[in-house]
Amino acid sequence: MTALAGTDTLFIDDLSGTDRKFVATPLGDPFAASGVSGSDLTARLPKIWIGYLLAFATLVGETIAVARHPDLVRGTEIGVPPLEIYLPAFVGLVYWLVCIHRYHVVLAHVPGWKHPISPARAVWFHFIPIFVVYWVFRWPAAIADFVNQRLAAKVMNKWTVGLCFFASLLCRLFLGASLHVALLFFACTYISGFLERALAAPRPQHG
């Protein structure tokens, strides 16, 4: 009897020991169990423009907040950021995690590729203190492994996404929340660009 692999969701991790393969899927699964193509998978990549829109909304919020609270510019006001800054920046961070989840869902359905990181782990491991310092480099490196193998060349750097993450944190501390959000999605633009190229490339033939 053919084993059924669990469908990846944002909150439920894969069953350990379950082989990743295309099997019967429930009605409504956006990924077909057979006939999946690179264009199908590319269409399922996250919409990065939404992230940039949230960065712009954060910028607008910063402008409004500064107009209402001039002390923000001088840095004399300490405490919780105004709602007009906090809300779009928070939504932007949540959507960034959604994008990470979506990348790993797509990679989990690439024919002939067994991705080492599940969508749930890719998201939740960001919430582990200290470990996150390693994790923001680990999952992009796994994506780079797929891209570089698929394109048969080392075209995607494994460090770029992690460096963008830490640069975004510095921007949040010293420059502003809008640039923080924008840099997060710049990293997503980097990932999406290479994944689109890799998914459009012909599947390697082994043996």
Q: Is residue 28 part of a domain?
A: no
Is 81 contained in some domain? yes
Residue 6: which pLDDT band, with cuts at 50, 70 and 90? very low
Asked whether residue 25 is assigned to any structural domain, the reply reads: no
In this structure, is residue 67 part of a structural domain? yes
Number of domains in the chain: 1
Whether the pLDDT of residue 143 is over 70: the answer is: yes
Domain that holds residue 55: 38-200
In-domain check, residue 13: no
Residue 99 has pLDDT above 90, yes or no: yes
Using CA atoms, how far apart are residues 126 and 201, in angstroms rounded to an integer? 31
Asked if residue 192 has pLDDT above 60, the reply is yes
CA distance 161 to 14: 25
Q: What is the mean pLDDT of residues 136-149?
A: 94
Q: What is the pLDDT of residues 100-122, one digit of tens each?
A: 999 999 999 988 889 999 999 99
Smallest CA-to-CA distance from 48 within 175, 160, 181, 167 is with 181
User: Is position 103 within any domain?
Assistant: yes
Note whether residue 141 is domain-resident: yes
Of the pLDDT bands very low, low, confident and very high (cuts 50, 70, 90), residue 74 is low
Mean pLDDT of 128-135: 92
